[in-house]
Chain A
Amino acid sequence: MNIFHFMLQNRAEILELTGEHLWLVGVSILIAVIIGIPLGILITRWPALNKPILGSANIVQTIPSLALFGFLLPVPWIGDRAGRLAILALTLYALLPLIRNTYIGIKGVDPAILEAGRGMGMTARQLLWQVELPLSAGVIIAGVRVATVICVGLATIAAAIGAGGLGEYIFRGLAMVNNQVILAGAIPAAAMALVADVCLGWLEKRLTPH
């Protein structure tokens, strides 16, 4: 039985696990975007917060993912449900690229443009929404893209704590010493990462001002 045959046979379960995987990644990225972009904007306004915020996000990235899932298990409410825990962990990993790219994007806006805008009497809010964010949209989306690809990969490990997703097949295959089962989880996960990368790459290109 070859791998495609195997995947075809188990398509219902693979589809279900893919759905779980998408849910884990999608919710995490959404939360990370909602938190990360404002934090990135915040540190362009208060440079004193720059080091503590980027530093903490950086430290989170250095924690091995399996260990992070483990650390969070005893946390009340979060630890009650594996899905919650996985989403929190993935969100934490996704924050750094989002905060950093938002910061870099806004800092990269030509100072002459901001000087002109301020001098014309635009308020800080008008400058942010009409100038700084549109001009840094490409860089911010690049951050979303990096975060998404990281999360698709990391979400496979969420299966270790019972959060489901395509990692289920990978861990099962590892336990069974069966490459076919491993691949049945790994191939859809890789495809998902690739599709996300291409789509967000296209969006990034469209939003980058020439």
Chain B
Amino acid sequence: MNRYSGEPFAIEFRKVSYRLKNGRELLRDLDLEILPGETLVMLGRSGSGKTTTLRLINRLLEASEGEVLVEGKSVSNWDVIGLRRSIGYVIQDIGLFPHFTVERNIGLIPKIEGWPPARITSRIRELLELVGLDPEVAARYPRELSGGQRQRVGVARALAADPPILLMDEPFGALDPITRSELQRAFLALQQRLRKTVVFVTHDLREALLLGSRIALIDSGHLVAIHEPEQFTSSADPLVSSYVGAFEGVGPRAV
């Protein structure tokens, strides 16, 4: 139970470890509670275990030890397909289906879930507007879009069935700085409206400070510290301050 509101946590890690088959440990004894409606940013260098953490939530990976709970229920007790459909998933490479138009990409899960066509169409329109895309892109193929437009479609697709949780794995990592900052702003506006539980993975401190309601620093498979952005930059923890030091001159909510 959540000590703040009495509701269950949106996502909870209890002493979770993850090892590869060859015995290499990617994550060790992770304890983490994610509150409904917050944007938790997982910050860390490449290979620190942040993507692993994310993939344990939608069961693309299974914990070697410990337990991951989504909405108070262990992920191993969820029907895996049902679990994934209630969690939106956005990755850096986007993974749009190249042989589907934008509208088929976005409408895929609603269609599989058996929504009536009229409802799918209106949902697609609504989502395109939500992520700031012109409705006329609906009929286009992903290859005909810019990188930023594609990532917006990726977000729209993840939101299609209105999942309460959104996992984002370096979604803006491959974009140029201007497009990235546009999408970050769009994300903030979106999150203000939707209040989803978001777990956002990045290695970019500026992005973490801008988007996160809390920031968790992961290093070598360990959770080092978890702070609100204001406290994060002034933390005395040596690992945190060395990470912050690497981005000198960056303050909370500065871009």
Distance in angstroms between the alpha carbons of A122 and B83 in the assembled complex: 11
Whether B138 is near chain A, meaning CB under 8 Å from some CB there, is no
Whether A116 is near chain B, meaning CB under 8 Å from some CB there, is yes
A119 and B58 in contact (CB under 8 A), knowing A112-B91, A126-B112, A210-B143? yes
Distance in angstroms between the alpha carbons of A116 and B154 in the assembled complex: 9
Distance in angstroms between the alpha carbons of A210 and B144 in the assembled complex: 11
B42 contacts across to A, CB distance below 8 A:
none
Distance in angstroms between the alpha carbons of A32 and B109 in the assembled complex: 34
14 A-B pairs, CB-CB below 8 angstroms? A112-B95, A113-B97, A113-B98, A115-B93, A116-B94, A119-B58, A119-B87, A120-B89, A120-B158, A121-B83, A123-B81, A126-B112, A131-B97, A134-B99
Whether B85 is near chain A, meaning CB under 8 Å from some CB there, is yes
A116 contacts across to B, CB distance below 8 A:
89, 91, 93-96, 154
B158 contacts across to A, CB distance below 8 A:
120
Q: Which of A106-131 contact B (CB under 8 A)?
A: 110, 112-123, 126, 130-131
> Which of the four size classes fits the interface of chain B?
20 to 34
Give 1 or 0 for each of B46-79: 1 = CB within 8 Å of chain A CB.
0000000000001010000000000000000000
Total chain A interface residues with beta-carbon distance under 8 A: 20
Whether B222 is near chain A, meaning CB under 8 Å from some CB there, is no
A119 and B91 in contact (CB under 8 A), knowing A113-B98, A126-B112? yes
The reply to whether A120 and B94 contact each other, CB–CB distance below 8 Å, is no
B84 contacts across to A, CB distance below 8 A:
118-121
The reply to whether A119 and B89 contact each other, CB–CB distance below 8 Å, is yes
B93 contacts across to A, CB distance below 8 A:
110, 112, 115-116
Query: Which of A113, A126, A135 has the most C-beta atoms of chain B within 10 angstroms of its own C-beta?
Result: A113
Whether B108 is near chain A, meaning CB under 8 Å from some CB there, is yes
The reply to whether B95 and A121 contact each other, CB–CB distance below 8 Å, is no
Kindly identify which residue among B82, B97, B98, B143 contacts A121, using a CB–CB cutoff of 8 Å.
B82
Distance in angstroms between the alpha carbons of A115 and B82 in the assembled complex: 16
B112 contacts across to A, CB distance below 8 A:
122, 126
